[in-house]
Amino acid sequence: MAETAVSSPSAVAAAQPASASGSLLNAITSRLVIMVPYLWLLFFFLIPFIIVFKISLSQTAIAMPPYVPVLGVGEGISGFLAQLRELGIDNYVWLTEDPLYFNAYVSSVVIAAISTFLALLVGFPVAYGMARAPASIRPTLLMLVILPFWTSFLIRVYAWIGILKPEGLLNQVLLATGIIDQPLVIMNTHAAIFIGIVYSYLPFMILPLYSTLEKMDFSLIEAAQDLGCTPTGAFWKVTFPLALPGVVAGCMLVFIPAVGEFVIPDLLGGSQTLMIGKTLWNEFFANRDWPVSSAVAVILLLLLVVPIMIFQSAQARAQEQGR
Amino acid sequence: MKSLGSIRRDFAPWNDPDAKPYIAFENVTKRFGDFTAVNNLSLSIYEREFFALLGASGCGKSTLLRMLAGFEEPTAGRILLDGQDLRGIPPYRRPVNMMFQSYALFPHMTVEANIAFGLKQDGMPKPEVDARVAEMLKLVKLEQFTKRKPHQLSGGQRQRVALARSVAKRPKVLLLDEPLGALDKKLREETQFELMDLQQSLGLTFVVVTHDQEEAMTMADRIAILDRGEVMQVATPAEVYEAPASRFVAGFVGNVNMFEGTVAAREANTARITGASGAEIVVENAGEAAAGNAVAFAIRPEKIKVSSRKPEGAANAMEGEVFDLAYLGDMTVYHVKLTDGQVVKASALNSARVTEDPLTWNDRAWISFRPDAGVVLTR
From residue A44, give the alpha-carbon distance in Å to each of A51, A70, A71, B230, B273.
11, 21, 20, 68, 90
Contact B104 A217 (CB under 8 A): yes
DSSP line for B354-371: S-SS---TT-EEEEEE-T
User: Mutate which of A216, A226, A319 to disrupt the B interface (most B C-beta within 10 Å)?
Assistant: A226
- B192, B180 contact by CB (below 8 A): yes
CB atoms within 10 A of CB B284: 14
Specify the 3-state DSSP secondary structure of A56: helix
Contact A227 B97 (CB under 8 A): yes
Q: Over 50: is that where the pLDDT of A4 sits?
A: no
Position A225 scores a pLDDT of 92
Which amino acid is present at A286? A
Residues, chain A: 323
Position A322 scores a pLDDT of 52
Whether the CB of B104 is below 8 Å from some CB of chain A: the reply is: yes
Question: How is residue A273 annotated by DSSP?
Answer: -
Instruction: State whether B131 and B279 are in the same domain.
Output: no
> How many Å apart are CA B353 and CA A202, to the nearest integer?
76
Q: What residues of chain A lie within 8 A of the CB of B104, using their CB? A: 217, 219-220, 222-223
Write out the H or E segment, with its range, that includes residue B114.
helix B111-121
Which of A33, A122, A225 minimizes the C-alpha distance to B69?
Answer: A225
Structural domain harbouring B92: 13-248
> How many Å apart are CA A94 and CA A157, to the nearest integer?
33
> How many Å apart are CA B140 and CA B163, to the nearest integer?
8
> How many Å apart are CA B129 and CA B134, to the nearest integer?
9
Overall domain count for chain B: 2
> How many Å apart are CA B112 and CA B161, to the nearest integer?
9
Rg for chain A, CA atoms, rounded: 28
Contact A223 B98 (CB under 8 A): yes
Contact A224 B106 (CB under 8 A): yes
Sheet holding B23-32, edge to edge: B35-45, B23-32, B76-81, B84-85
Q: Is residue B4 part of a domain?
A: no
Question: Which residue of chain B comes nearest to A245, CA vs CA?
Answer: B108
A322: left (phi over 0), alpha (psi -120 to 50) or beta: alpha
**Region of poorest pLDDT, from A13-17, A240-244, B186-190:** A13-17
> How many Å apart are CA B206 and CA B22, to the nearest integer?
11
**How far does the CA of residue A306 sit from the closest CA of chain B (Å)?**
28
Position A81 scores a pLDDT of 83
Whether the CB of B99 is below 8 Å from some CB of chain A: the reply is: no
Strand extents, DSSP E, B198-341: 205-210, 222-227, 230-235, 257-267, 270-275, 280-283, 294-299, 305-307, 316-327, 331-338
Position A19 scores a pLDDT of 58
Position A128 scores a pLDDT of 95
Strand extents, DSSP E, A150-286: none
Which amino acid is present at B222? R
Q: Over 50: is that where the pLDDT of A5 sits?
A: no
Instruction: State whether B362 and B286 are in the same domain.
Output: yes
Instruction: State whether B294 and B174 are in the same domain.
Output: no
Which of B252, B369, B222 minimizes the C-alpha distance to B244?
Answer: B252
Domain A89-322 grouped into CATH 1.10.3720.10: yes
> How many Å apart are CA A132 and CA B76, to the nearest integer?
27
Which residues make Cβ contacts (< 8 Å) with residue A273, sequence separation at least 6? A107, A111, A188, A190, A193, A265
What are the phi and psi torsion angles at B223 (to 5°)?
Answer: -120, 135
ipTM of the complex: 0.80
Query: pLDDT tens string for chain B (379 positions)?
Result: 567 766 667 788 888 888 888 898 888 889 898 888 888 888 999 888 889 999 888 888 889 899 999 999 899 989 998 888 888 889 998 989 999 988 999 998 999 999 999 889 888 899 999 999 998 898 888 889 888 998 888 888 898 899 899 988 888 899 999 888 878 888 888 888 888 888 888 888 999 999 888 888 888 889 999 888 888 889 888 888 888 888 898 888 888 888 888 887 777 778 888 876 667 888 887 777 777 778 888 889 898 888 888 888 777 888 888 888 888 888 989 888 888 888 889 898 888 888 877 888 888 888 888 888 888 888 8
- B90, B70 contact by CB (below 8 A): yes
Which amino acid is present at B6? S
Contact A242 B97 (CB under 8 A): no
Whether the CB of A219 is below 8 Å from some CB of chain B: the reply is: yes
Instruction: State whether B269 and B335 are in the same domain.
Output: yes
Which is more confident, A30 or B207? B207
Instruction: State whether B159 and B296 are in the same domain.
Output: no
Tell me the three-class secondary structure of A191-225, residue by residue: HHHHHHHHHHHHHHHHHHHHHHHHHCCCHHHHHHH
- A291, A278 contact by CB (below 8 A): no
Position A8 scores a pLDDT of 44
Q: Which one of B248, B275, B296 terminates a domain?
A: B248
Instruction: State whether B209 and B279 are in the same domain.
Output: no
What are the phi and psi torsion angles at B61 (to 5°)?
Answer: -65, -40
Contact A242 B92 (CB under 8 A): no
What share of chain A has pLDDT > 70, as a percent? 92
Which of B307, B306, B315 minimizes the C-alpha distance to B281?
Answer: B315
Instruction: State whether B225 and B260 are in the same domain.
Output: no
Question: Which of the listed ranges A78-82, A318-322, B165-169, B268-272 does the model predict with the highest average pLDDT?
Answer: B165-169
Which of B199, B159, B249, B243 minimizes the C-alpha distance to B51?
Answer: B199
- A210, A131 contact by CB (below 8 A): yes
Position A6 scores a pLDDT of 42
> How many Å apart are CA A318 and CA A312, to the nearest integer?
10
**How far does the CA of residue A216 sit from the closest CA of chain B (Å)?**
10
Whether the CB of A134 is below 8 Å from some CB of chain B: the reply is: no
By CB atoms closer than 10 A (0-12, 13-18, 19+), residue A175 is middle
Write out the H or E segment, with its range, that includes residue B28.
strand B23-32
Whether the CB of B69 is below 8 Å from some CB of chain A: the reply is: yes
**How far does the CA of residue A9 sit from the closest CA of chain B (Å)?**
47
- A194, A268 contact by CB (below 8 A): no
Question: How is residue B334 annotated by DSSP?
Answer: E
Contact B122 A224 (CB under 8 A): no
Does the pTM surpass 0.90? The reply is no
DSSP line for B168-189: TT--SEEEEESTTTTS-HHHHH
User: Mutate which of A215, A220, A227 to disrupt the B interface (most B C-beta within 10 Å)?
Assistant: A227
B343: domain CATH number is 2.40.50.140
Instruction: State whether B229 and B365 are in the same domain.
Output: no
Strand pairing report for B222-227 and B50-54: parallel
Instruction: State whether B132 and B59 are in the same domain.
Output: yes
What are the phi and psi torsion angles at B72 (to 5°)?
Answer: -130, 150
Cis peptide before A69 (omega within 30 of 0): yes
> How many Å apart are CA A320 and CA B91, to the nearest integer?
35
Contact A227 B118 (CB under 8 A): yes
- A275, A198 contact by CB (below 8 A): no
Whether the CB of B107 is below 8 Å from some CB of chain A: the reply is: yes
* Per-residue pLDDT band at A15 (split at 50, 70, 90): very low
Contact A242 B69 (CB under 8 A): no
Question: Which residue of chain B comes nearest to A240, CA vs CA?
Answer: B108
> How many Å apart are CA A311 and CA B252, to the nearest integer?
59
CA angle B75, B78, B79 (to 5 degrees): 120
B107: domain CATH number is 3.40.50.300
Specify the 3-state DSSP secondary structure of B290: coil
Q: What residues of chain A lie within 8 A of the CB of B177, using their CB? A: none
Q: What's the helix, strand, coil split of chain B in %, to 5? A: 25, 35, 40
Q: Which one of B231, B248, B265 terminates a domain?
A: B248
Question: Which residue of chain B comes nearest to A222, CA vs CA?
Answer: B71
From residue A64, give the alpha-carbon distance in Å to each of A58, A60, A285.
13, 11, 14
- A174, A180 contact by CB (below 8 A): yes
Domain ranges of chain A: 89-322
Question: Which residue of chain A comes nearest to B169, CA vs CA?
Answer: A227
Q: Over 70: is that where the pLDDT of A10 sits?
A: no
Contact A217 B90 (CB under 8 A): no
Question: How is residue A309 annotated by DSSP?
Answer: H
Which residues make Cβ contacts (< 8 Å) with residue A39, sequence separation at least 6? none
Position A160 scores a pLDDT of 92
- Out of B70, B104, B149, the one facing A223 most closely (by C-beta) is B104
Instruction: Tell me the pLDDT tens digit for each residue of B6-59.
Output: 666 778 888 888 888 889 888 888 989 888 888 888 899 988 888 999 988 888
Strand pairing report for B305-307 and B375-377: unpaired
* Per-residue pLDDT band at A2 (split at 50, 70, 90): very low
Instruction: State whether B263 and B231 are in the same domain.
Output: no
Instruction: State whether B220 and B288 are in the same domain.
Output: no
- B166, B98 contact by CB (below 8 A): yes
Q: Is residue B5 part of a domain?
A: no
Position A3 scores a pLDDT of 41
Instruction: State whether B138 and B170 are in the same domain.
Output: yes
Write out the H or E segment, with its range, that includes residue B53.
strand B50-54
Which residues pair with residue B205 across a beta bridge? B173
Counting other chains too, the contacts that B283-287 makes at CB distance below 8 Å and 24 or more residues apart are: B283/B371, B283/B372, B283/B374, B283/B375, B283/B376, B284/B371, B284/B372, B285/B372, B285/B375, B285/B376, B286/B376, B287/B375, B287/B376, B287/B378
Q: Which one of B221, B248, B275 terminates a domain?
A: B248
**How far does the CA of residue B202 sit from the closest CA of chain A (Å)?**
18
